């Protein structure tokens, strides 16, 4: 259902773009806006992995420098039949994580120091399974397409503001059509973009629970991360708010509802969906992650302690 909902939202946004483009500048104006927006977002998509990791001062680790954390990701990737992604640690005390990269072959996952210290082993595994689900679903590509269409619609709205749109008989709505293109269409595109983001989070929760085999561990992790995120700032995220949608929980502020302008679903709704999944699908469709042997050495995670989770 989440995949179908995403497809329908993308189809709606495409139709919205075509309609607005015709009202504003005919086929020529529509194509110009699409080409410019596509070029900008294609560059961002191709370089998104390294750009986002640099923004958040992420540090790459391997099996020698962080054996437990790296081992979790390695086993989960194997369960999901994914190539091994690059693994990073974020120097933030706020528990959180994200995935990036243009495709599974060029993916990276990142978890914060706070996540590794404050969550249990199973909860960390569940969070990283969620991030690998984003990789498997190619959500970076989906959101890039969405951003391209939303950007093109906004660009057409700017054209309408500066040039007044087409004033010939081919524009059946006349000045009203121009106003729609300037105000209503960009707002609608933004709302659809947010809705797609929320849909992809629900789907990553579902698939992540399958990959790790423990829906309730992910539910517990989401609850803890949201509680901590309300009181522990993530300064890199605050300085780069455009990347907030990538995190498993909004790093900027806790959301109280699935409002139209939220990039993340309400955490309570996500937990309820996972509880329902655990009740009706006790056997995950994928082999649960096999825990790696905990070394508990000072080199397990660089410069931090490995957390056993909060009671």
Count CA atoms within 13 Å of residue 209 on its CB side: 28
Give the whole-angstrom CA distance, residue 112 versus residue 91. Answer: 6
- Size of the chain, expressed as the number of residues it contains: 311
Contact status, residue 210 vs residue 273, Cβ threshold 8 Å = no
Strand-pairing partners, residue 158, are none
Give the whole-angstrom CA distance, residue 259 versus residue 262. Answer: 6
Contact status, residue 18 vs residue 26, Cβ threshold 8 Å = no
Of 273, 123, 135, the C-alpha closest to 205 is: 273
H helices present in the chain, as ranges: 2-55, 67-79, 113-118, 121-136, 139-163, 174-179, 185-212, 215-231, 235-239, 267-280
Give the whole-angstrom CA distance, residue 231 versus residue 301. Answer: 24
Q: Give Cα 194 to chain centroid, integer Å.
A: 11
Which of 68, 122, 131, 203 does the annotation list as catalytic? 131
Does 131 participate in catalysis according to the annotation?
yes
Tokens of residue 224, six digits: 């803890």
Q: How many other C-beta atoms lie within 10 A of the C-beta of residue 43? A: 11
Give the whole-angstrom CA distance, residue 268 versus residue 256. Answer: 9
Q: What is the dihedral of CA 285, 202, 282, 117, to 10 degrees?
A: 100
Contact status, residue 137 vs residue 82, Cβ threshold 8 Å = no
Active site residues: 131
């Amino acid at each position: 259902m989440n995949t179908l909902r995403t497809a329908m939202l993308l189809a709606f946004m495409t139709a919205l773009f075509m309609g607005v483009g015709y009202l504003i500048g005919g086929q020529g104006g529509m194509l110009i806006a699409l080409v410019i927006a596509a070029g900008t977002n294609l560059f961002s998509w191709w370089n998104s992995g390294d750009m986002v990791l640099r923004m958040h001062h992420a540090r790459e680790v391997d099996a020698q420098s962080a054996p437990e954390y790296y081992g979790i990701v390695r086993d989960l990737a194997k369960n999901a039949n994914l190539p091994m992604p690059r693994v990073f640690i974020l120097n933030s005390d706020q528990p959180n994580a994200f995935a990036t990269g243009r495709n599974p072959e060029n993916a990276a996952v990142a978890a914060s120091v706070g996540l590794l210290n404050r969550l249990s082993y199973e909860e960390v595994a569940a969070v990283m399974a969620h991030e690998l689900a984003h990789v498997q679903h190619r959500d970076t590509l989906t959101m890039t397409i969405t951003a391209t269409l939303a950007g093109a619609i906004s660009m057409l709205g700017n054209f309408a503001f500066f040039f007044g749109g087409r004033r010939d008989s081919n524009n059946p709505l006349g000045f009203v059509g121009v106003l729609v293109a300037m105000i209503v269409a960009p707002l609608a595109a933004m709302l659809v973009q947010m809705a797609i983001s929320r849909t992809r989070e629900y789907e990553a929760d579902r698939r992540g629970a399958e990959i790790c085999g423990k829906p309730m561990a992910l539910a517990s992790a989401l609850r803890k991360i949201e509680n901590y995120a309300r009181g522990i700032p993530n300064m890199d995220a605050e300085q780069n708010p455009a990347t907030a949608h990538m995190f498993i929980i909004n790093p900027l502020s806790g959301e109280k509802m699935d409002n139209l302008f939220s990039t993340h679903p309400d955490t309570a709704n996500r937990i309820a969906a996972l509880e329902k999944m655990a009740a009706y699908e006790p056997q995950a469709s994928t082999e649960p992650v096999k825990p790696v042997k905990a070394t508990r050495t000072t080199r397990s995670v660089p410069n931090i302690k490995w957390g056993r989770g909060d009671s």
